[in-house]
Chains A and B, each alone.
Chain A
Amino acid sequence: GDSVTQMEGPVTLSEEAFLTINCTYTATGYPSLFWYVQYPGEGLQLLLKATKADDKGSNKGFEATYRKETTSFHLEKGSVQVSDSAVYFCALWVNNNDMRFGAGTRLTVKP
């Protein structure tokens, strides 16, 4: 069935390091792809999205490109900050009321 697989964590980086969190998907249709972020003690917040192949979503310095040929939607940021420490979820919208989430990747950024 439709699913999302994302890079296992935890990931620990130093401030200003480059971040990549891998996400690949399996889908029979034409999904939309999302990255959500969950800060400690809070719910998930939309970080960025892409609704069709080759779209690039971006927000707060984070970027992800919807690559149909590799079925991927990897999250990247050029220079992480301590405030970016959170859990990141890749998600797949397949059809009405069917959103599939990855297991989440915990990122810790050290000063």
Chain B
Amino acid sequence: NAGVTQTPKFRILKIGQSMTLQCTQDMNHNYMYWYRQDPGMGLKLIYYSVGAGITDKGEVPNGYNVSRSTTEDFPLRLELAAPSQTSVYFCASSLDSDRYQPQHFGDGTRLSIL
């Protein structure tokens, strides 16, 4: 009953450090997404993937990179952490991307850049 699993749950980084947020799903979903959630704001799409080997930018991709080597995994990488990247990050997946398919979310990673 795992669904979408994100690790770590919390992390504190120093400015300029790098890290990878992990996301894996066991539902054999084709589509995967990364969002950030800032206080008092809705979720904003960072990157998405329509299948293994295919990724594309969302609304706020600057400062991030992604890869999708398998159907299950969709890691998000921060190369040079900046205070503006302090946020809660959510990974999500869906079987398809049409008007009928909801997205399934992980529990989030709370990231602070100091």
Contacts and interface: CB of A to CB of B under 8 A. Distances in A.
Interface of A: 4, 31-32, 34, 36, 41-46, 49, 51, 89, 93, 96-104
A99 B100 contact: no
Contact of A46 (B4, B98, B102): B102
Given A43-B107, A44-B90, A101 B102 contact: no
A46 B95 CA distance: 14
Given A97-B58, A101-B35, 5 more contacts: A89-B42, A96-B97, A96-B98, A97-B31, A99-B45
Contacts of A43: 4, 6, 90, 92, 105-108
Interface residues of B, number: 28
A66 to B, nearest CB: 11
B85 interface: no
A34 B106 contact: no
B53 interface: no
Contact of B105 (A44, A97, A102): A44
Contacts of A51: 99-100
Given A43-B107, A43-B108, A104 B90 contact: no
A46 B105 CA distance: 9
Most chain B beta-carbon neighbours within 10 Å: one of A32, A34, A36, A97: A97
Contact of A32 (B100, B104, B107): B100
8 contacts: A32-B99, A42-B107, A44-B90, A44-B103, A46-B102, A97-B33, A97-B58, A100-B42
A27 to B, nearest CB: 12
B4 A34 contact: no
